[in-house]
Homo-oligomer: A and B are copies of this chain.
Amino acid sequence: MLAEDNSIQDMLREKNIRLSHQRLMVLEYMSANHNHPTADQIFNGLKGTVPSLSKTTIYNTMDAFLEAGIIRPVNIEDNEVRYDIVTGEHGHFKCDSCGRIYDFDLDLDHLTSGQLAAFKIDSRDVYFRGTCKECLKSKS
């Protein structure tokens, strides 16, 4: 209900998503935390300020946002889904040492193969894994 920031509410209305306190809070959380949170992380991050919050609501909300294209799933983990506010085309790097997920720029046009010329492509995901700069440094 923070009247200060109408941009989030307008964004939802544009996408034909009905306003609710929970949805606004989730979007606010996503905007403040660009660290590709899981449903559980969003839930734990908000339950303090929204005591009635239910985990099911998080999943419902994510589904609504996914369908509207407001967020994007990050399936770089095999056991749980993460969510990303799309800010443009980019890849994800997961460090197997510290678990952190890094964004990196992409040039997908030079990647796309002619084999898929007749295919309708809706989403493109690029996931790299390995050890990040910081972890390599601390190991030596």
- Least distance between A19 CB and chain B CB atoms (Å): 28
How many copies of the polypeptide does the oligomer hold? 2
User: How large, as a class, is the contact surface on chain A?
Assistant: 35 or more
Contacts of A130 in B (CB 8 A): 119-123
- Complex Cα spacing A122 to B95, Å: 10
Is A131's CB within 8 Å of the partner chain B?
yes
Interface residues of A (CB under 8 A from B): 73, 75-76, 78, 81, 91, 93, 95-96, 102, 104-108, 110-111, 113, 115-116, 118-133, 136
Contacts of A128 in B (CB 8 A): 116, 119, 121, 123-125
- Complex Cα spacing A104 to B91, Å: 18
Judging by beta carbons under 8 Å apart, are A131 and B120 in contact?
yes
Known: A104-B116, A119-B130. 18 other contacts (CB 8 A): A75-B75, A75-B78, A91-B111, A93-B119, A93-B121, A102-B119, A107-B111, A108-B111, A118-B133, A119-B132, A120-B130, A122-B131, A123-B128, A124-B127, A124-B128, A125-B127, A126-B126, A126-B127
